[in-house]
Structure 1
Amino acid sequence: MTLPLRGVRVLDLTDGLGESAGRYLADLGAEVIRVEVPGGSRSRSAEPVVDGVSIPFALRNANKLGIVLDLDEDAGRTRLRELASDADILIESHRPGWFAERGSGPDEIRALAPELVWVSVTGFGQTGPYRDWTATEQVLYALSGVLSRSGAPGAAPLLPPAGLVEESVGAHVAWAALLAYHRRLASGRGDTVDLSAFEAIVHGFDPGFGAQGSAAAGRSEDFPRGRPDAANFYPVFPCKDGHVRICLLAKRQWRGMFEWLGEPAEFADPAYDTIPARFAAADTLHPLIEKLFASHTQAELVAEGSRRGVPVGGVHTLSEVLTTEHFAASGSLVDAEIAPGLRARVPSGYVSVAGERAGVRTRAPRPGEHDDRMFGPREPLPAGTGDPSAAPLAGLRVLDLGVIVFGAELSRQFADYGADVVKIENANFPDGLRQSKRGAALAASVAWGHRNKRSLGIDLRSPEGADMFRRLVADADVVLANFKPGTLASMGFSYDSLAEINPRIVVSESSSFGSTGPWRSRLGYGPLVRASCGVSALWRYPDNAELLCDGQTVYPDHIAAHVAAVAVLSALIDRRRTGRGTNIEVAQADTALVQLGTQLVTEGLRPGAITAPGNTDPYAAPSGVYACSGDDEWCVVTVRDDDEWAALCTVLDRRDLLEDDRFATGALRLTHRAEADAVVAEWLRDRDPRAAAATLQAAGVPAGAMVRLPELLTDPHLTARRTYTTIGHDLLAADLPATARVAVFDEIADPPARQAPLAGEQTRQICTELLGLDDTEVDELVRSGVLQPPATDPALRSAVTAG
């Protein structure tokens, strides 16, 4: 297989956060050299450990080469400079200032290698009041606003499953690195990139201020104390052999469910065609569905739901996921060696390129395994001499057929950084985001998801419209779509047919479960993807298998879009070498599987080992989400080692506990978890969570207050780093807070904030500018319905006047 990033050399000096970025770049073909300190990285001991092998380390370092350098010694620093001088990208995750203290910081290294892209990924970035804080996944869930929306009303907030944070951060790192590298190929200039994991989760995991976000305008009155009552958004029902989830969004889906129920008279009122009415009647409606489903198996309910147009999906445990026929047939799960002598069933990788999976090929290296290898000169892509002030994706044209959250988020990445993104819209089949405005003149999700784009209103189902699209393809770079598998081909726009028109075109298609395997035709939304991949089964309180707490989130839509963006950009980079485009396929289920990989692999190797942990870290004690002073105020704390335990005891003024045999080691603290947790709980009970977290962090103990979404806008760290910008629109009563950037670049400017287009707003402009049509031709196509500009278009106004 010819992978798109072949010939790209990456130095990976991460340890923990960011490791998955190098893995993804390696999956796509980059030569990734993992550089470790003597004795190996700390992450080699990250739990869970099976037969002496750290499962997260093994998964996040597959496909890499491994060397050891002692950067406290002259020889190690000299070797790093030599390697950096012939590398394209360097990714590191050491604390701010660590490399500079050793004379090997980005300023020193890039003075020798000005074309190098240096990416620093840390918990909170290189600047700001939290820059020296420790970021665990639990801390990032709490501070980012994710925790405040997770859990049941009246109960403690619930931490989502582990692993999703690190992998999400890794996707952001890969995207930022390739953006800077793509600019380097055009201009000859490298860059220094400062990426904050905190900001990546705030904006990229399940953003409150983003497409389908929970914080439409950030009004504090919209966020009462306690968790939202989200269990009935995507309800779960017991069935004959487990549980299933339904996802009723469209009117036609409800009508299919209504008929399936036997058309009960009490729900015949057309008012129940709306989601709010059904939600309000859940106490009456759901028992009817539960009775209907009780005597059927998952497979029967999924099949019947598909026949009726009702989205139904099984809620699968990890053991069920590992034996699911679809994931084997699609290549999502494969058997592979992850360490010398240790094989396991693993998620293969995020994407397929040219019909082949870009996934695991070789196991993670042993420490220093490739120390003797000569990393000689390569044939890198030549660097250009273009304008270094230009946006990194300037000059690219993207034809965007994408819909709803994934579609909006994917194309926005390209629009924000300079590509001309033309959103293709058909008034007869409007994008779901445009239908979610709930009485407003414009949906906030449209303003967030479609900024910096243009819109072409066109009926692609008409011969004339299809022909115009093909003419646009002839001079485009990328086509994006996320329809049901086979839809693009049925419209006459398969990759092969578009490549005949333009061999340089890159086509990216996404769906819930991919184009191969038994589930390829399943109706899919994020809630069903999460349920089918094992995420939902772990995102619950340990004592309640039916109260799933992932109903408020739209994961994995946003992060899957970042995953797809990385793959598309890698194909564009490869096109500089080959002159040809390719086709990329992204199954959103694969994003969930990769990000849950540690639990899946551990469960496969040790059946029954993985259960829903709730707020307890199975490998660290004390750990949890603790109540603080005030109404619904909480703080997360995680103690991972003896040093952090000693620091905690000092802060709590309980140095006597250091002499307590129950807590002498990490293993003993796990055994006496309840007593250790009680000590932390007692100290936090009467304290402000923010002040307490700051005190603990200053002592080196990972801690974070639970933050609600509106509070993000005034968070001192996010404010200091100007994490948010504002976007406006003529149809909005007020500006909206929005993500300012994917990372802080030394030389790449922050994205503009041009307002999202109305449906078809630039139709006339695009047709005259790109297709060479004159006004008379456009007028005729508008009157025939092939082109669909806004109601203010002259041709439509004249038609109304004539009528």
Structure 2
Amino acid sequence: MKSNKSNQPLRGLRILDLCEGKGDSCGRYLADLGAEVMLIEPRQGSPARRAAPVVEGHSLYFATHAANKKSVVLDVTQEDDRTVFYALAQQADILIHSRSEIALQWLNEITVLVESDESHLICLAISDFGDSGPYADYVGSNAVHMAMAGITARSGLKDREPLLPPGQLCYEAAAIQAAWVALVAYWQSAHTHRSGSIDFSVFEASCQILDPALGVTGSAAGGQSATKLAPRGRPPEGKMYPFFPCADGFVRICVLNPRQWQAMSAWLGDDHPYTDPAYANMAKRFKYMREINLLIEALFAKEKSADLVAEGQRRGVPIAAVATPQQVLKDHHFLARGAFTDIDLAAGLQGKAPAGYLKINGQRAGIRTPAPALNEHQPSFSTDRLALRSASPAQSTRRPLEGIRVLDLGVIVAGAELGRLFADQGAEVIKVENKAFPDGLRQSLQNKPITESFAQGSRGKKSLGLNLRSEKGKQVFKELVAKSDVVLSNFKPGTMDSLGFGYGELKAINPRIIVSESSALGGSGPMSNSMGYGPLVRASSGLTGLWRYPDDGSGFGDALTIFPDHLAARVSAVAILALLIEREKTGLGGTVSLSQAETILMTLSTELLSESLQGGWLAPCGNRGRFDAPSNLFSCAGDDEWCVIDIEGDEQWLRLCSAVGRQDLAEDQHLKAASGRLAMRDYVEQELSKWTLERPPQQIVETLQAAGIAAAAMARINELPDNPHLKARDFFRINTQPGLDAPLLTENGPAGKSYLPEPEIRPAPFVAEHTRELMRDILQLDEATIASLIESGDLEVMTS
């Protein structure tokens, strides 16, 4: 746990954290980036200190989610403590709370502060559904959000029950979006001198981050939207990214483009039936995919996964082993990159957990200090203060990132999404592209001039057609760097250096430049050159191995997801904005380096720490919750209709029994405590299923939510546009996109209900649509020079 200020761009930012079990990763990530995050706890301590899993009296959840934070105990019933709280809040920049019991106790003081004319405090409230809309009083859980956001319906295998993804992905991903919102609000406040309250909903964030119905889809989708691709039920076993058993487990491959198929075909030998070059065409090959996969299965069957991965890399075939959590914790690549760190929980009790999301300026921005003891710190902030505030306020309607110029070389989902986040907030985002190397999102199965997926991921951007391989094209790019703030890329590691655009070269041109790179496994380490496909990232990080049916060793259920692309984009966005904030003080830029696999590891921090302490604990658990029962998916009346019922604690168990009319279960002494319910969960679930099978899911949800129990009907993504809660909270916007047959339904901003301006929804660009404009406006080139660069092929312009 080393301290290195070069990877702490937010040092001096002051945050009060009143989260208790929801949104905790928001403060943790901001603390990783150097913010001073102070937990305000009641005298008995935050409930997060007792959150499962618990080993020898220590909450592993608290250990992973409160690292780098400070702890101060204040009692709202004591006048002196109220005075201290008020003083701290006056000094703080941001207050985060999760509408928890302690936050509600302090709500009066918080409201007075936020509404004060002199206050600059930003209040970020993170709750399951927000404080308005028809579901505002619903009880949420990770499983509830998975079901309601349309994720569960697409997870699993055809002809089987849906499969809840592992971990707490909704809460972990939403917390990172909350961190993005917090920093955007801070940046806006610094320039407008205006602050206020933000009503942030985990449900809305879940609809945007994990597998969004209205977001970017992968390159294999041919530009189609998720709503058009998703079947009503679960998909058949994946042809696109198939699994193959081998001598010591499974491997997964992604053979998509002609070059990859040629490499795979050569690996199969020269005597199989599919050597004809015509099979390089993906559509033709897919007609025979079952037969081709049988050949690959026979080739791989007796080989070890490590040998197959090495051979695949040598041949240029994208491949990864489906790693177990035990293998992940010992993985030589992750260890070489410092992706894990030791955590001391008590004398003689040490575990291993993911260290942090990414690297800033080449150093891990991760755990520096362990989770604090209760009331370990003094109720005062350090004398260091970031105090980012312009001399004179701008208009409050300004878009937060106005004046920031971003050169966006990003491609496919993670690349598109990162640039869009900045464009939505007012930055000038220039997509640098070349027709010879088209972004996969521009590929259309219908041969349209623009695709729905590209329109979702690149709305509000401008397109510059530029040849980065010619000398004059390189010079144009360098001149743009001199007048820009951020460069984004997600190429294979080393690509930017090979083009002559490594950070050292760009920094020499513009010391204020911030360069962000994202790749599958990071820019260093023995496996850094692995090809960056999401399915392979999930396999390498252990997520895929956990995302399966417990009764089927090969029943992997993540065929349709594109996780973690949208999350990885937000992790990078937060770090970039942190460096922009620091740059206001230092005048210097810096670097952000992200491994998508390590983003996944961080979402499983608690689970991996538990596995390191209790070998074999982290195994696929399917739809069952680990810590109480009933916590599962239940079949309902209707065709493939399901609902989540997810209780937590003895009181909720009694309310459930009352709601379903089973007083006999409430009186059963064997079921009084969670331990007994877990021991008898087969019986409990069987009895509850008798009730759910006779009722449609919405009736079940209304009955149980009225009783204060987390429950949700499984939604399909094509139903989300009609969701009354999303509509009531202005989740949707319309994008009138040229090149599409009809206006495109798109998502609103990331903040939920807030005082921040909404994004200006502008269409995505056609290829090279803005080349002339950008050359004139930014580089002040005359028409003759522009025409000459176009004629020589250094620049490209839009063609009709």
Shorter chain as normaliser: what TM range? over 0.9
Tell which deviates more after alignment, 315-324 or 106-115. 106-115
1:32 alignment partner in structure 2 = 37
Once the two structures are superposed, residues 214-248 of structure 1 have per-residue CA deviations (whole angstroms, 9 ceiling, x without a partner) of 89887988655421225322111111222110011
Letter in 2 for 1:309: G
Once the two structures are superposed, residues 392-444 of structure 1 have per-residue CA deviations (whole angstroms, 9 ceiling, x without a partner) of 10000000111111100001000000000000001111111112444333221
SS of 1:609's equivalent in the other structure is coil
Whether the 8 Å CA contact 1:100–1:106 is kept in 2: the answer is no
2:760 alignment partner in structure 1 = 752
SS of 1:451's equivalent in the other structure is coil
2:627 alignment partner in structure 1 = 619
> Out of 553, 556, 574, which is 2:582 matched to?
574
> Out of 485, 489, 500, which is 1:481 matched to?
489
> Out of 216, 221, 225, which is 1:211 matched to?
216
Aligned length: 791
Q: How do residues 376-525 of structure 1 correspond to structure 2 at under 5 angstroms?
A: 377-384=383-390, 385-525=393-533
Once the 2 structures are TM-superposed, how far is the Cα of residue 296 of structure 1 from its aligned partner?
A: 1.7
1:345 alignment partner in structure 2 = 352
Whether the 8 Å CA contact 1:454–1:757 is kept in 2: the answer is yes
1:798 alignment partner in structure 2 = none
Tell which deviates more after alignment, 683-692 or 310-319. 683-692
SS of 1:104's equivalent in the other structure is helix
SS of 1:267's equivalent in the other structure is coil
Label 1:102 to 1:163 Cα distance change in 2 as closer, same or farther (>3 A). closer
> Out of 17, 29, 48, which is 1:12 matched to?
17
Once the 2 structures are TM-superposed, how far is the Cα of residue 104 of structure 1 from its aligned partner?
A: 2.4
Label 1:402 to 1:563 Cα distance change in 2 as closer, same or farther (>3 A). same
Once the 2 structures are TM-superposed, how far is the Cα of residue 26 of structure 1 from its aligned partner?
A: 0.4
Q: How do residues 663-674 of structure 1 correspond to structure 2 at under 5 angstroms?
A: 663-674=671-682
SS of 2:640's equivalent in the other structure is coil
Label 1:474 to 1:395 Cα distance change in 2 as closer, same or farther (>3 A). same
Once the 2 structures are TM-superposed, how far is the Cα of residue 113 of structure 1 from its aligned partner?
A: 5.4
Whether the 8 Å CA contact 2:147–2:712 is kept in 1: the answer is yes
Q: How far apart are the structure 2 equivalents of 1:485 and 1:219? A: 29
Q: How far apart are the structure 1 equivalents of 2:230 and 2:406? A: 38
Q: How far apart are the structure 2 equivalents of 1:573 and 1:410? A: 18
Once the two structures are superposed, residues 444-493 of structure 1 have per-residue CA deviations (whole angstroms, 9 ceiling, x without a partner) of 11100000000000001100000011000111000011111111111111
SS of 2:795's equivalent in the other structure is coil
Whether the 8 Å CA contact 2:670–2:676 is kept in 1: the answer is yes
> Out of 245, 248, 267, which is 2:252 matched to?
245
Tell me if 1:772 matches 2:780: yes
Label 1:274 to 1:626 Cα distance change in 2 as closer, same or farther (>3 A). farther
Once the 2 structures are TM-superposed, how far is the Cα of residue 109 of structure 1 from its aligned partner?
A: 3.9
1:51 alignment partner in structure 2 = 56
> Out of 720, 733, 755, which is 2:741 matched to?
733
Letter in 2 for 1:51: E
Tell me if 1:93 matches 2:101: no
> Out of 68, 71, 78, which is 2:76 matched to?
71
Once the 2 structures are TM-superposed, how far is the Cα of residue 30 of structure 1 from its aligned partner?
A: 0.3
1:232 alignment partner in structure 2 = 239
2:369 alignment partner in structure 1 = 362
Whether the 8 Å CA contact 2:736–2:744 is kept in 1: the answer is yes
Tell me if 1:788 matches 2:772: no
Once the two structures are superposed, residues 486-540 of structure 1 have per-residue CA deviations (whole angstroms, 9 ceiling, x without a partner) of 1111111111111111111111111111122111111221111100010000000
Letter in 1 for 2:301: A
Tell which deviates more after alignment, 686-695 or 782-791. 686-695
Label 1:462 to 1:221 Cα distance change in 2 as closer, same or farther (>3 A). closer
2:67 alignment partner in structure 1 = 62
Once the 2 structures are TM-superposed, how far is the Cα of residue 74 of structure 1 from its aligned partner?
A: 3.5
Once the two structures are superposed, residues 654-704 of structure 1 have per-residue CA deviations (whole angstroms, 9 ceiling, x without a partner) of 122221112111111111111111122111101111221122111111111
Whether the 8 Å CA contact 2:449–2:766 is kept in 1: the answer is no
Once the 2 structures are TM-superposed, how far is the Cα of residue 554 of structure 1 from its aligned partner?
A: 0.7
Q: How far apart are the structure 2 equivalents of 1:224 and 1:245? A: 23
Whether the 8 Å CA contact 1:85–1:112 is kept in 2: the answer is no
Whether the 8 Å CA contact 2:114–2:120 is kept in 1: the answer is no
Identity over the aligned pairs, expressed in percent? 43
1:610 alignment partner in structure 2 = 618
SS of 2:96's equivalent in the other structure is strand
Label 1:250 to 1:323 Cα distance change in 2 as closer, same or farther (>3 A). same
Tell me if 1:189 matches 2:194: yes
Tell which deviates more after alignment, 418-427 or 596-605. 596-605
SS of 1:245's equivalent in the other structure is strand
Q: How far apart are the structure 2 equivalents of 1:574 and 1:173? A: 20
Once the 2 structures are TM-superposed, how far is the Cα of residue 208 of structure 1 from its aligned partner?
A: 1.9
Letter in 2 for 1:611: A
Query: Structure 2 length normalisation: TM-score?
Result: 0.96
Tell me if 1:375 matches 2:381: yes
> Out of 639, 644, 654, which is 1:631 matched to?
639
Label 1:436 to 1:97 Cα distance change in 2 as closer, same or farther (>3 A). farther
Q: How far apart are the structure 2 equivalents of 1:416 and 1:608? A: 44
Query: Structure 1 length normalisation: TM-score?
Result: 0.96
Q: How far apart are the structure 1 equivalents of 2:242 and 2:562? A: 15
Task: Give me the CA root mean square deviation.
Answer: 1.9
Label 1:106 to 1:340 Cα distance change in 2 as closer, same or farther (>3 A). farther
Whether the 8 Å CA contact 2:646–2:709 is kept in 1: the answer is yes
1:796 alignment partner in structure 2 = none
Q: How do residues 674-713 of structure 1 correspond to structure 2 at under 5 angstroms?
A: 674-713=682-721
Whether the 8 Å CA contact 2:388–2:584 is kept in 1: the answer is no
1:597 alignment partner in structure 2 = 605
Letter in 1 for 2:128: G
Whether the 8 Å CA contact 1:498–1:505 is kept in 2: the answer is yes
Label 1:379 to 1:601 Cα distance change in 2 as closer, same or farther (>3 A). closer
Q: How far apart are the structure 2 equivalents of 1:617 and 1:114? A: 43
Structure 2 unaligned residues grouped into runs of 5+: none
Whether the 8 Å CA contact 1:261–1:292 is kept in 2: the answer is yes
Whether the 8 Å CA contact 1:507–1:584 is kept in 2: the answer is yes
SS of 1:528's equivalent in the other structure is helix
SS of 1:695's equivalent in the other structure is helix
